[in-house]
Chains A and B, each alone.
Chain A
Amino acid sequence: MTRNRSISVVAGLVALTTLTQCFTNRKNEGEKLYVANCQSCHMEDGSGLRGLIPPLAKADYLQLHREELPCLIRHGISGEIVVNGQEYNKEMPGLERLQLDDVTNLLNYIQTNFGNDNQRYTMTEVEELLESCPAH
């Protein structure tokens, strides 16, 4: 009885650590992708560049256009957009080589950092959204 219990405790602990590790790794993954691919333009703190590159920090765009973001990251964006009341019009290159899990990690990273506390994405959701990207 006691033996059984201790086994289940151990098993539970193992499961818990793998799970949390998984989560923390995920988070690091998103951060790494951000540093490698986005930081040069959107800056370490997600503040962007005045008038030229929109901020990610506390950006209304992330919530208003949540469903378009997977395609935006994969295929880039150009033309006039408005972020936090300010107009921007410059080209952002796409990252076609990013895999589904990368896009998901990256999006969850920007949605939950830089002072953002927005809804996360599941992989299935991102997959569906990527399937219906507008022609580019």
Chain B
Amino acid sequence: MINRNKLSLRRLLFAASLTLTAGMFYSCSESAAEEAKLPILGNREPVERVVEGQTVVDTLYHQIPDFAFVNQDSQQVTQETFAGKLYVTDFFFTTCPTICPKMKSQMLRVYEQYKDNPNVLLLSHSIDPTHDTVAVLKDYAARLNVTSDKWHFVTGEKDSIYDIATKYMVTAMEDEQEAGGFVHSGAFVLVDENRHVRGVYDGTKPEEVDRLINDIPVLLKEQNDQK
């Protein structure tokens, strides 16, 4: 009996060490793949162009168009606010009873992780801009204890907000059937300095947000290498 136990313990250890080694190889190759590059998401179009008599085909990537919203300090927030930086964006509303508290607690993790890095910004759009006025957003951000040079909470023209949501490939619309009156996805979208979407993550799942937190340095490095 004792012997048998010993044997199985040894086997167990062996199996465990195998798994460990396999895991090490796996994580190595994975981090090597991460080193490479994040994909550029969304539609792409081939564009032909003539250079010195030769036709070359460029790929035109999906790009976030110009925008102008107002943040919790009544300051204009536009694409210029994010020039040369990367940002993480989402869509929410302050009275949302469903997924927003979870999203905000996860976005706080990203905030805490990158709060001292000026090249990473956060942008949360209200999809209930009629209720979420500048004053409401200011109170919300103050209670969360986050600063407006890092994390912009914006309100604006309802149509423009719903419109830009589709550009970030996020669902957001009014729906009386839904708790709180709006349907929206809990996505966090990672955008680079060229306004390309480089990642979409489920902001209600801690493991997806871990992935985002790990992807940010990869993108920062890429942007840095290009400078």
Q: Are B102 and A52 in contact (CB under 8 A)?
A: no
B8 within 8 A of A: no
Residues of the A chain whose Cβ atoms lie less than 8 Å from the Cβ of B84: none
Q: Are A40 and B98 in contact (CB under 8 A)?
A: yes
Closest chain B CB from A84 CB (angstroms): 15
B18 within 8 A of A: no
Nearest A residue (CB) for B204: A40
Interface residue tally for chain B (C-beta within 8 Å): 14
Q: Are A43 and B105 in contact (CB under 8 A)?
A: yes
Nearest B residue (CB) for A40: B98
Residues of the A chain whose Cβ atoms lie less than 8 Å from the Cβ of B145: 50-51
Q: Are A50 and B108 in contact (CB under 8 A)?
A: yes
The number of chain A residues touching the other chain, given as a range, is 10 to 19
Contact among B102, B140, B144 for A40, CB-based, below 8 A: B102
Q: Are B101 and A52 in contact (CB under 8 A)?
A: yes
Closest chain A CB from B76 CB (angstroms): 26
Q: Are A43 and B104 in contact (CB under 8 A)?
A: no
Q: Are A40 and B105 in contact (CB under 8 A)?
A: no
Closest chain B CB from A75 CB (angstroms): 16
* Cβ contacts B66-100/A at 8 Å (1 or 0 each): 00000000000000000000000000000101110
- Among A51, A53, A88, A91, which residue has the most Cβ atoms of chain B within 10 A? A51
Q: Are B97 and A93 in contact (CB under 8 A)?
A: yes
Give the CA-CA distance A93 to B105 in the complex, in Å. Answer: 20
Residues of the A chain whose Cβ atoms lie less than 8 Å from the Cβ of B4: none
Residues of the B chain whose Cβ atoms lie less than 8 Å from the Cβ of A93: 97
Closest chain A CB from B222 CB (angstroms): 32
A72 within 8 A of B: no
Q: Are B108 and A40 in contact (CB under 8 A)?
A: no
User: Can you list 5 A-B contacts with CB-CB less than 8 angstroms, sorted by A residue number?
Assistant: A40-B102, A41-B97, A43-B105, A49-B104, A51-B142
Known: A40-B98, A41-B101, A52-B140. 9 other contacts (CB 8 A): A40-B101, A40-B102, A49-B101, A49-B144, A50-B108, A50-B143, A50-B145, A51-B142, A53-B101
- Seen from chain A, the residues whose Cβ lies within 8 Å of a Cβ on chain B are 40-41, 43, 47, 49-53, 88, 91, 93
